[in-house]
Structure 1
Amino acid sequence: MATGSFATSGADLELVGIQKRFPGFTAIEHLDLVIPAGSFFALLGPSGCGKTTTLRLVAGLEDPTRGSILIGGEDVTHRKPFQRPVNTVFQSYALFPHMTVLENVAFGLRRRKMAKPLELAQEALELVELEHLASRKPTQLSGGQQQRVALARAVVNRPALLLLDEPLGALDLKLRRQMQLELKSIQEEVGLTFLHVTHDQEEAMTMADTVAVMNKGRIEQLGAPEDLYELPHTAFVANFLGQSNLFTGPVLEATSHAIAVEVAGTRVLVPKARARKHSGEVTVGIRPEKLRLLTEAPPTTAGVNTLGPGTVTDVSFSGVSTQYQVDVPGADSVTVFAQNLDFGPVVTPGTEVWVSWKVDHGFGLEDSASEEAKFAPELDTATIAVQAKRDLAAELEVS
């Protein structure tokens, strides 16, 4: 891909003490956030957590009840959308069906009376490798191609900050995964700051340098995708970002290196550096793919935790791996992912088994109970499309 004149730097985004209240509820209680220039940042969370509201505040499509928004060090809190160095790629793409691809991309440039709008639009189409489809109408394109046109239309305006509002939600699984890699590649080439809002965990982890997990209007945890996955701080993050086996029990002993927690009558060790609490009741966790499934009681081994015996209650084949549900008395159901190195399941329902894992793979949470996220009703596709076109019009408005 050729970047040409689009290899411009992004800008820092800083949210300071943001609060957003609507009649009857508070969408964001208090939000402080800094996104470095040139980064690919994802806001991840369930419906109703406040992530889309945050994006709309940054775009200028909503006004904060309290707090400040700074882009590149400049306070833009009270600026109109078209006065901000920001563009948005919407889930519905919001393309104009009566215009050609080239005209769609050049639309914002013409509204701003920019010089050589068609030439710049052609460069943007080259960036997303669609220059050969410049004369087609949006209805003649695939979903993935329409998504690229929407991206080109946003990038052509050379914003310091590009907002991605669930941009891949309308694509099928295979195309969505392809576009995840392509979007990341484009971001690296153009050097803009990307703020990506999504509820898709895989999408966030695949594309973003940094992920912020939101829940009920606040950020529960922020960091690199691998850090959030390997060392979640709360039960919500542990369960929302992938799957986790969580066990709660009293701390029996704490040394300088580890804590011992009683789980189902067994001492389970967790490295002290990987535990958020070191006394009282502690919830410890282990990811399903870190577990080994054993059909005989294993010998006691240093650095290894073991639970069992338990009984296999369910076996689900998913191609790459097989998922086992194991009922361990006192520990509820334990989920195990086993890679399919052999043909067929290793064990069948009713088999007596033990599960084990390396002590270094476990983690301890700062809370002891998993709270369900508060979900808001999803908008239908038609409503999303209408709203996106209104938001685009607000972004492109000229005085």
Structure 2
Amino acid sequence: MTTTVPTEPATPARRGGAALEIERVTKQFGDFVAVDDLTLTVPSGAFFALLGPSGCGKTTTLRMVAGLEQPTAGTVSIGGRDVTGTRAHQRPVNTVFQSYALFPHLTVAENVGFGLRRTRTPDVARRVAEGLELVELGHLAQSRPAMLSGGQQQRVALARALVNRPALLLLDEPLGALDLKLRRQMQLELKRIQTEVGLTFVHVTHDQEEAMTMADTVAVMNKGRIEQMGAPAELYEHPRTTFVANFLGRSNLAAGTVVEQLDGGAVLGVDVAGTRVLVPAARAVRTEGEVLVGIRPEKIRLHIDGQEPAATDNVVGPGTVTDVSFTGVSTQYEVLVPGLGTFGVFAQNLTGGATVGLGTQVRLSWSPAFTFGLDGREDRAEGLADLDDEP
């Protein structure tokens, strides 16, 4: 049987509208600007993700919402109420951190009910039981945290936050300490719980898959600002900057010049190292001059000698296969195309493994409908991992 945590009488956040509004918020630490004139609105009941690399300002933003940091400028409102100057304990917010922060000497039930008892909330036992049932841990109510797995401990921490019935639940890299398989299971579990309770979740993460799996809306942050915000599929299929194209998955980007406009301007003809590539104008940030032509690796098909691409496809090559990596569901190829650089190609393993070997000469093709165009004045490497910057 499924149980949802009962809600309190409706507040502005629960009736609809905005659960969180950040208006022109800036946060400086000395001369360093961690968050730069940030404005965003999170609707009530949404699962919202702030996604970005370390140092982009996402955790600082979360801490300002929680009341753990004060903005240098701007306002933070929760449920229609300005909370900028209020302390953390005065805000209708709970936070779940990567470290579970459970009390080892207390039982699971005592951990979940700790905050309720401190505030002398009535009917603690019932609310604790409902919270544990929601995270499917009622059978472990009398266990100690040391007896639980990492995933179970994280669910206890989540139940402890939910029983306080916050208007806003903040998740700060909550799955970072879990192994890959458990992390993927918990992604689905968190989404299930959020859907059941109907609370507004704001989730901070650097993990692209995590954000795309769980969130309704993702805001990609870079250098204290939001580069692009929207539904996960929209950001992935229609990136508007090189940072988003490279950070959210992988993109193949090739420099080109718009040389013609076809179908009344609906399609751009772009010269890419002597090859004409078609780009839908609706998927292009810029429709004249220098552009970066982009295509996701899974949209590309490999063609060896004797295999002809469709007449309507974009085609580049020939190139040489320089790397082959079997990943289970797909095989990842690296193809060096003279004049264009290296293209990544992800081929689904429909026949049991790699079908093209190292050193093979291939051509690459894809449908123009999947092509996107970015501003050619941007750095093509923006958003790629810099191994020299890794700790």
TM-score (norm 1): 0.91
- Check 1:121–1:169 CA distance in 2 against 1; reply closer, same or farther (3 A cut): same
Give the stretch that moved more between structures: 306-315 or 111-120.
Answer: 111-120
Match status 1:362 vs 2:371: yes
Tell me which residue corresponds to 1:132.
Answer: 139
Q: Distance in 2 between matches of 1:165 and 1:258?
A: 43
Taking the TM superposition and a 5 Å limit, the aligned residue runs for 1:40-79 are: 40-79=47-86
- Of 193, 201, 220, the residue aligned with 2:200 is 193
Any conservation in 2 of the 1:260–1:269 contact (CA below 8 Å)?
Answer: yes
1:172-222 deviation per Cα after TM superposition (whole angstroms, max 9, x unaligned): 111111111111011011010000000111110000000000011000000
Any conservation in 2 of the 1:295–1:353 contact (CA below 8 Å)?
Answer: yes
Any conservation in 2 of the 1:297–1:354 contact (CA below 8 Å)?
Answer: no
CA drift of 1:342 comes to: 1.7
Match status 1:149 vs 2:159: no
Any conservation in 1 of the 2:20–2:42 contact (CA below 8 Å)?
Answer: yes
Q: Distance in 1 between matches of 2:68 and 2:332?
A: 44
SS for the counterpart of 1:32 is strand
CA drift of 1:303 comes to: 3.2
Could you tell me which amino acid in structure 2 is paired with residue 257 of structure 1?
A: A
Q: Distance in 2 between matches of 1:48 and 1:196?
A: 16
Could you tell me which amino acid in structure 2 is paired with residue 360 of structure 1?
A: A
Tell me which residue corresponds to 2:346.
Answer: 337
Q: Distance in 2 between matches of 1:22 and 1:191?
A: 36
Match status 1:229 vs 2:236: yes
SS for the counterpart of 1:365 is strand
Q: Distance in 2 between matches of 1:378 and 1:243?
A: 19
Q: Unaligned regions of 5+ residues in structure 1, if any?
A: 380-399
Larger RCO, structure (CA 8 Å, separation 6 or more): 1
Q: Distance in 2 between matches of 1:83 and 1:269?
A: 56
CA drift of 1:150 comes to: 0.3
- Check 1:300–1:111 CA distance in 2 against 1; reply closer, same or farther (3 A cut): closer
Tell me which residue corresponds to 1:94.
Answer: 101
Q: Distance in 1 between matches of 2:133 and 2:152?
A: 13
Match status 1:3 vs 2:4: yes
Q: Distance in 1 between matches of 2:143 and 2:372?
A: 53
Q: What fraction of aligned residue pairs are identical, expressed as a percent?
A: 64
Taking the TM superposition and a 5 Å limit, the aligned residue runs for 1:380-399 are: none
- Of 87, 91, 94, the residue aligned with 1:84 is 91
Any conservation in 2 of the 1:6–1:156 contact (CA below 8 Å)?
Answer: no
Tell me which residue corresponds to 2:174.
Answer: 167
Could you tell me which amino acid in structure 1 is paired with residue 298 of structure 2?
A: E
Any conservation in 2 of the 1:46–1:373 contact (CA below 8 Å)?
Answer: no
Q: Distance in 1 between matches of 2:25 and 2:176?
A: 27
Tell me which residue corresponds to 1:210.
Answer: 217
Any conservation in 1 of the 2:132–2:141 contact (CA below 8 Å)?
Answer: yes
Q: Unaligned regions of 5+ residues in structure 2, if any?
A: none
Tell me which residue corresponds to 1:347.
Answer: 356
Could you tell me which amino acid in structure 2 is paired with residue 306 of structure 1?
A: V
Taking the TM superposition and a 5 Å limit, the aligned residue runs for 1:316-335 are: 316-335=325-344
Tell me which residue corresponds to 1:265.
Answer: 274
Q: Distance in 2 between matches of 1:38 and 1:175?
A: 26
CA drift of 1:4 comes to: 4.7
Once superposed, what is the RMSD of the aligned Cα atoms?
1.9
Q: Distance in 2 between matches of 1:270 and 1:241?
A: 21
Q: Distance in 2 between matches of 1:299 and 1:338?
A: 17
CA drift of 1:132 comes to: 1.1
SS for the counterpart of 1:342 is coil
Q: Distance in 2 between matches of 1:353 and 1:290?
A: 16
Any conservation in 2 of the 1:216–1:374 contact (CA below 8 Å)?
Answer: no
1:90-117 deviation per Cα after TM superposition (whole angstroms, max 9, x unaligned): 1001111111111111111111111122
- Check 1:329–1:374 CA distance in 2 against 1; reply closer, same or farther (3 A cut): closer
Any conservation in 2 of the 1:251–1:282 contact (CA below 8 Å)?
Answer: yes
Tell me which residue corresponds to 2:290.
Answer: 281
Q: Distance in 2 between matches of 1:306 and 1:298?
A: 12
Alignment coverage as a number of residue pairs: 379
- Check 1:92–1:41 CA distance in 2 against 1; reply closer, same or farther (3 A cut): same
Any conservation in 2 of the 1:47–1:378 contact (CA below 8 Å)?
Answer: no
Give the stretch that moved more between structures: 253-262 or 60-69.
Answer: 253-262
SS for the counterpart of 1:126 is helix
